[in-house]
Structure formats: structure tokens, C-alpha cells
A and B are shown apart, each in its own frame.
Chain A
């Protein structure tokens, strides 16, 4: 109970089953007050279900959700100090924009004076850049505008916890980045605890200060964005958060020599205590150095560029390496001296073994049987 006072949200062994489907299995989680948590995971992994249990729209099948230290089992949504931005907005079609945003304030007791409500609604609409839209009907708004109305409708109440179910999914890239920064600033200023559901890993990494990667209803890893990216707990997390190259190999008994499929040996620098045997080596695309020219006996692996994607500040290459498969390599434009490598050209790939992650091969088979493609 000592941590309860500082934690805004706590899951205690929470399981949620819908009939035969177990959407969330035995999750325990602490979200400190004022944190920005991102629930990240593929479609159907139970993100929305977790959020709905915090909001009070679903009751856990077993376990308990606590908000600000008090148990919430049996507490209806309208008695919880949280607000939610729904995945499909859920705006009231018979109200205009202003009436939608004012709805929560109008329900508060003791009553808030009408003038005060009008002022705060105006502020909230300015905040989401819908200042001139107060009298618009909902069906006269675009999807992105509706999403911002939904955001304003929740934020205007200054809840202690704000739940966001993919709130930026319908916005174009530019508006989305702007809203991401806006949300982050707001969150810091207001000190509201945010729980953001997203399946966009970039959004999770850039906005949150705590990322919770989920799969098949369970938590795979919970940590700061850098931790999750740099030290993924397993192959699933490595794959889902950012892009990853895999090499299937065998770890020898010394714990640091990898026997690669082409017969060569690779020293991974330091002993890894994952046990000898079948191993998957995971390496990020940006950790691989690509050097043009393919002298057969140089350092690293010789390969051929098959595809190039120009991304502006960086370039992505697909490189085919005999016996090891296809590699994805990201080259930073600021360090490649302006040289683009053409498809068809021979190259060498090298990487610092310390940057590689090794996972026992059994990690690849998820116990929940979820379907993440294993790219090699």
C-alpha cells in the first residue's frame, strides 16, 4: 500500500475474459502520478480493454484496478475521476461542438456558472485549434476535426487521469505531429496522468515517458522508451518497437561465439547468459554500417543492394546477403557524404556485436500463439 499514494493507476493481477476470449491475462501494472504511459501493441492485443477497465466500462473478470489508491471494482464510470477520448470519438450527434464540449462541465456538482462554462469551453476549443467552430453541427466536421472535439470534450474537465484510445489516428501527418507536441505540453503543464493507447510505435516512443508493450493480452515489457528500444525484453518487442534484422544462429558453449548459417563464426564481444544452442540475433537497421564495394575477404558480410527507399534525411537499403537472407539497413544522410548506393551494387555490411541482441530461439514461439511475422 506504500506505493498506492503515489500511483495514479494500479492493476493488480487483472484478467478480463469475454466468454471464451481472454482479452487481458493477469496484468499487474503501476502508473505513477503525472506519468505519460503508452499502451503499445498490435491490433486485438487488449489495449482498449485495459483502458475500458480504467474508465469503468468493463469490470475485470478477476483482479482489481485501483485509481489514486482506491479500489474501483463496482464503481461506475460517472463516479471515476477519469475522462476518456474514445477510439471512434463518440460525439453526441444532436449537440453542436460547443454543447458537446460543455457536457461534462454541465454535469459537475456544485454547478459551474454558465459564464464560466462558456469561457472554459472557448479555451478548450482554442487549445485544439477549433476556435471558430463552436456552433458547428458534428456531422459538418471532418474526421480529424471530430477527433479534436473529442479531445477538447475530455480535457476541458481537467481530470486527474486522461485515457486516450488512439486519439490521433485520423489526423494527417502534420496535424498529428502538432497535436503530439500539444498533448505532451498539456500533459506536463496540467500534471494529468495520461494513458495513451496506440499501435503506432513512433507515437508511443516520442510522446510517452513510460511504454508498455502488450501482446496477446499480456505485458511483454514496461519501461522508458529508450530502454524498450535499446534493450528489448524479447524478440517480439524488438520486432514491434522499431525495425529489426534477424539472423538465425547457434550460440556455442562459451556464450559468446555465434556459429552463423554460412559456417562462419561471430564473436559477440561479451558473454551472454542465455544458454547455448539455437539463437536469434537481432540487430537494428541503423546499427549496421554499409560500405560500398564488395571485396570478398573484407570485414563483415558481402551482399548486394536490391532496393532503395529515399526518406529525405535517411536512406533505407534492402541488402541481400547469401546464406543469411535479406537485411534492412538505414543510412543517415549526414554521415554518408552524400553518396547514394545504387541497387545492384555490391556492398559490405558490418556492425558492432555489442549492439546486437541475442534471444533464445524458443522466444520466437509466443505462448499465446499471437501472429507476428518473423522477418529474416
Chain B
């Protein structure tokens, strides 16, 4: 049994370990280790195409995670006030949204956006006063929308769990002490759910930053970091790509660990 578990972990982590290992290889050939070097990191960071992809990914991850945090929190709060029936339905929908495969989300979003564009663009053209008619198309907006929608479900689930553990007592006590609902939210609810919102934001950020599948469908001409990596791999795995993968890995791990700590800390405190 132990040997089996060991084997599973070996299969899981050996490839990752190899990527990290070869990112420090001074040789160009991915089949033999020559010596230690950080030159590929330098190469990666000075590659303008790579840097542009990184910037695109960061913009998308920040924006989509930000939108998800705001709207996900609002949804979580709203769901506290509806009846048990409605809540059960929405809980189910949010949980389903999280387990739907990325391919399906990608295709569905693409189809929906294409339909929307073919409907809106002619209308825009007909009402636009000038000649320089704007045209909706795939790009930043579509990736942010797709990522944001998915992450919103994630944030809602996390924040909702925290709100549920708050209890209605302290909210009522605040109202009893003359605080309006808005003040109650700002002074009592928000300070206590803030860590879970931040945790949700970090997970959403990580998800968006790492996502290849959904982005690939709706990216249009934009190149995110995972798409860039995918494209360059078709020209062969270079040590430079290993360095990029290692950096993404470390950044993601750090964010996820922080999110985990934030989510756990609150459970003890209450």
C-alpha cells in the first residue's frame, strides 16, 4: 500500500521536479545535465514576447479576480437573505459552475460571445454617429469575462462559508445598537469576512493566471503566458520555458498557501 502511494507521488511530482531541475541546467540540451546556471531565467526575463504575454496575463488575472471578488462577495451576501429553497438552487448552480470542465466553459463562452457580437455589432454600426465605428471582438474583455464568471463562483463559495459561520446574532446586535444596514456591513460584517474575500481573490488570481484552456478559446489575438508557453513548446522545449514554468509554479504556490492560511485562520478565531 505504501509503495503504491509512493509510486503515485513519484509519477505526480517527477515531471515537475525535472522541469525545475533543468531550468537551472547550464546546457542547452534538455537530455543531459551539464552544470548549474541561472542564465535561462535571465533570458526569459529579457524576452520581449514573453514579457508582453506576462503583462497580458497579469492584467487579466488582476481584473478578473478583482471583479470576481466584488461580485462573488455581493452574491454571497445576497444569498444569505433569500429563502432556503432559492438558496439551495443557487448553491447547486455555483457548485456546478466549478466542476464544469474548462473545455466546455471555453466553447460555451466562445459561442455565446460570437452570438452576442453578431447581434450587437450591426446595431452599433447602425446607430453610431461617426465613421469610426467601434467593433466588439475577442480579446482582453472576453478572457476577463470568462475567467471572472468562473472565479466568481469560487469566491462566492468561500465567502458564503465564512458568512454562514458568522451567525445572525452580531448582525442583529449591530442593528439593535442603531447601526444602519450599511454601517453594520462596514463595521461588523466586512472586517470578519475580509480574509475570506482576500483568499477568494488570490485563488481567482491563481486560476486566471494559470488557465490555458478557457483562455485559448476566447483569447482572440491576445497571447497570455500559458498560451505563449504552449506555442513555444511546439518549437521544442527550451530551458527558457523550464525557467518560466518554475517561476509560475513558485508564484502560484505562494498565492495558494497564503489563501489557505487566510481561510483557516478565521475558522479558529470564531
Q: Which residues of A contact B (CB under 8 A)?
A: 55-57, 76-78, 82-84, 86, 88, 90-94, 103-104, 107-108, 139, 153-154, 157
Task: Say whether B173 contacts A92, CB under 8 Å.
Answer: yes
With contact pairs A93-B269, A93-B270 given, residues A108 and B178 touching in the complex (Cβ less than 8 Å): yes
Q: Residues of A contacting B167 with CB < 8 Å?
A: 90
Q: Which residues of B contact A (CB under 8 A)?
A: 167, 169-170, 172-181, 183, 187-188, 191-192, 269-270
Known: A103-B187, A107-B178. 14 other contacts (CB 8 A): A55-B176, A57-B172, A57-B175, A77-B175, A78-B175, A78-B180, A82-B176, A83-B177, A86-B173, A88-B169, A91-B173, A92-B188, A108-B178, A153-B177
Interface residues of chain A: helix, strand, loop or mixed (majority): mixed
Q: Residues of B contacting A88 with CB < 8 Å?
A: 169
Interface-central residue, B167, B169, B175, B191, by most chain A CB under 10 Å = B175
Task: Say whether B177 contacts A107, CB under 8 Å.
Answer: yes
Task: Say whether A94 contacts B179, CB under 8 Å.
Answer: no
Q: How far is the CA of A57 from the CA of B177 in the complex (A)?
A: 13
Task: Say whether A94 contacts B192, CB under 8 Å.
Answer: yes
Q: How far is the CA of A93 from the CA of B170 in the complex (A)?
A: 9
Q: Residues of A contacting B173 with CB < 8 Å?
A: 84, 86, 90-92, 153
Q: How far is the CA of A50 from the CA of B270 in the complex (A)?
A: 29
Interface-central residue, B170, B175, B178, by most chain A CB under 10 Å = B178
Task: Say whether A91 contacts B170, CB under 8 Å.
Answer: yes
Nearest CB in chain A: distance from B197 CB, A: 15
Q: Residues of B contacting A139 with CB < 8 Å?
A: 269
Q: Which residue of A lies closest to B180 (CB)?
A: A78
Nearest CB in chain A: distance from B215 CB, A: 39
Q: Residues of B contacting A78 with CB < 8 Å?
A: 175-181
Nearest CB in chain A: distance from B180 CB, A: 6
Q: How far is the CA of A44 from the CA of B192 in the complex (A)?
A: 31
Q: How far is the CA of A84 from the CA of B177 in the complex (A)?
A: 8
Nearest CB in chain B: distance from A9 CB, A: 16
With contact pairs A93-B270, A107-B183 given, residues A77 and B176 touching in the complex (Cβ less than 8 Å): yes
Q: Which residue of B lies closest to A156 (CB)?
A: B177
Nearest CB in chain A: distance from B194 CB, A: 10
Task: Say whether A76 contacts B178, CB under 8 Å.
Answer: no
Q: How far is the CA of A82 from the CA of B178 in the complex (A)?
A: 9
Closest 10 CB pairs of A and B: A104-B177, A90-B169, A90-B173, A107-B178, A77-B175, A78-B175, A84-B176, A107-B179, A78-B178, A94-B191
Q: How far is the CA of A308 from the CA of B181 in the complex (A)?
A: 57
Q: Residues of A contacting B178 with CB < 8 Å?
A: 78, 104, 107-108, 157
Nearest CB in chain B: distance from A267 CB, A: 56
Interface-central residue, B177, B178, B187, B192, by most chain A CB under 10 Å = B177
Task: Say whether B169 contacts A103, CB under 8 Å.
Answer: no
With contact pairs A78-B180, A88-B169 given, residues A93 and B175 touching in the complex (Cβ less than 8 Å): no
Q: How far is the CA of A57 from the CA of B174 in the complex (A)?
A: 12
